[in-house]
Structure 1
């Protein structure tokens, strides 16, 4: 397994290079630049603009700019932000924790509810509870996250049930440890509900269909023929095999949560990477955009690696194929 992890980490390198190079090209192809905005200011001289171009390396050829950035990025030196005038890594450190907290909270909410609801529906096919769960799934799968975020924001403003901005209360520093935990959970509840409910709707349908297929399989029939208790048949045989595809989907779920979190963060004013990246794109802050994409790509690749490791732990067949692949 250790050799497999090392192999996957090595495979990450060309993938990260490909993602960042394409992103760099797309950003550079956009008309104008951050310095073009400064040219509109009559108080800034041409000599100052040229000095800024040299300082940020923008006077060099495109490939030279990219490879200089890449070499520094591999050492996690992501350059300086044009608009904030501070290291990009410091800005990302301030926001990445909130985005991860939101993504993890919404992901846990979706998975904790999706598995029991999917099993419940699969064990009662075509009954009222199954039809109700399917109606719930189809309804929230058809509602985009950003529209649901607007609706929940309207409810929060009218009722005061949810906070409408920020990650903590003004008196957060004076709270006890338990109070801080509850305050963080209260503030993340609105964006986590929006992200989690959308992911939950799709996962419930997948768990239901996988469980129905597993319950009709030969190994379940054989387990029942041996006289095993129905609880063991469901949870030790059917569920374990039905969940294998969902562990594979874990990496994609991380990707969808991170990408969906950006738009939801902007709508509900959650201080994460979403608002930071929007400001960077609007101001054409090259190094801040590239730094955010670089960290995001690493997070997504690590998420897929975690999913592969969990799948190998759960399914011995996958583990055997990995061992054979390493030996070859």
Structure 2
């Protein structure tokens, strides 16, 4: 098992290296660079920048060097915890991201817990009571959840909350706590605002996992060992929960590998709609401005979350399925 974990960690490090290269290269694929975007914005506002000033800016940020030189300078600083300086904000990237990264992780983790907490029991009920009224209702709701984009659902909820209740459903903090230092009162205010964006992000993933859990459990319930357990007179709850549900959890658990990054990437548009203080809006602005240090760092960190999600998925599969543990020994 130790060998397996070491192999996974090695693959994770290699994956992050590839992600960093791809992110850095793709960000610079559009024509021009940050200085060109900066000059275009100034020209739109009636100002101008001379050629000498533009060249000085490129030398300042190292944009006059080949792309591979820029990458190695950036990644060498990243390895020691220095993510460089944001060109647009003119501040260290770590300061610009600040609490936004932790807010992104918090919202995504909360959405993941909600997804599992809702999808698991609903999937079990739909499979055990196949073709019942409850199964049809859950199936209908699941298809609706798959069909409606998260950002559209966020817009509908914001409209209903403001139109009929006079409440602003956006943001993670009340107005008096937005710029206030951290305190127990601010933490409690965050807890009160967290369920709405978490639920919005969880709904699409929940609908998908309900269908997966239902299909897996229906397949397990038809296997001979379940028929034998029922023939021996075991209680129905024990027959279902003891083995079929646990076996059906294997594909369910493997979805963590893509569900966690899906929640993180899905939070980008939802964060813009709900005005959430996450890295989503920052990433969009950085990509538009071609702020490669800020955008590259955010993409690298999101890639790290993807790798972490895959690693957690492997650990959960080893925990719920003894056969996988035996194969690793």
SS at match of 2:194: helix
TM-score scaled by structure 1?
A: 0.91
Distance 1:141 1:115 in 2: 17
Q: CA deviation at 1:121?
A: 1.2
Determine the structure 2 residue equivalent to 1:7.
Answer: 7
162 and 117 in structure 1: CA distance in 2 versus 1, 3 angstrom threshold: farther
1:77-97 deviation per Cα after TM superposition (whole angstroms, max 9, x unaligned): 211000111111222232011
Distance 1:311 1:43 in 2: 59
Q: CA deviation at 1:57?
A: 1.5
CA contact (8 A) 2:85 2:294 kept: yes
Determine the structure 2 residue equivalent to 1:305.
Answer: 311
Mapping 1:46-61, distance limit 5 Å:
46-61=51-66
After superposition, the CA RMSD in angstroms is 2.1
Distance 2:34 2:186 in 1: 39
2:258 to 237, 252, 261: 252
Distance 2:130 2:80 in 1: 54
Q: CA deviation at 1:162?
A: 5.8
CA contact (8 A) 1:121 1:208 kept: yes
Determine the structure 2 residue equivalent to 1:74.
Answer: 79
Deviates more, 1:271-280 or 1:29-38: 29-38
User: Aligned pairs, how many?
Assistant: 322
Q: Is 1:197 matched with 2:203? A: yes
253 and 153 in structure 1: CA distance in 2 versus 1, 3 angstrom threshold: same
Q: Is 1:84 matched with 2:57? A: no
Q: Is 1:234 matched with 2:240? A: yes
Distance 1:55 1:175 in 2: 36
SS at match of 1:195: helix
TM-score scaled by structure 2?
A: 0.91
- Structure 2 residues not aligned, in runs of 5+: none
Determine the structure 2 residue equivalent to 1:273.
Answer: 279
CA contact (8 A) 1:163 1:187 kept: no
Mapping 1:79-158, distance limit 5 Å:
79-158=84-163
CA contact (8 A) 1:164 1:269 kept: no
176 and 99 in structure 1: CA distance in 2 versus 1, 3 angstrom threshold: closer
Distance 2:315 2:75 in 1: 28
Determine the structure 1 residue equivalent to 2:19.
Answer: 19
Determine the structure 2 residue equivalent to 1:219.
Answer: 225
SS at match of 1:95: helix
Q: CA deviation at 1:186?
A: 2.7
Structure 1 outlier segments of 4+, above 6 Å: none
SS at match of 1:243: helix
Determine the structure 1 residue equivalent to 2:33.
Answer: 33
Distance 1:52 1:72 in 2: 20
Q: CA deviation at 1:304?
A: 0.6
Q: CA deviation at 1:127?
A: 1.2
Deviates more, 1:181-190 or 1:261-270: 181-190
67 and 130 in structure 1: CA distance in 2 versus 1, 3 angstrom threshold: same
Distance 1:147 1:316 in 2: 42
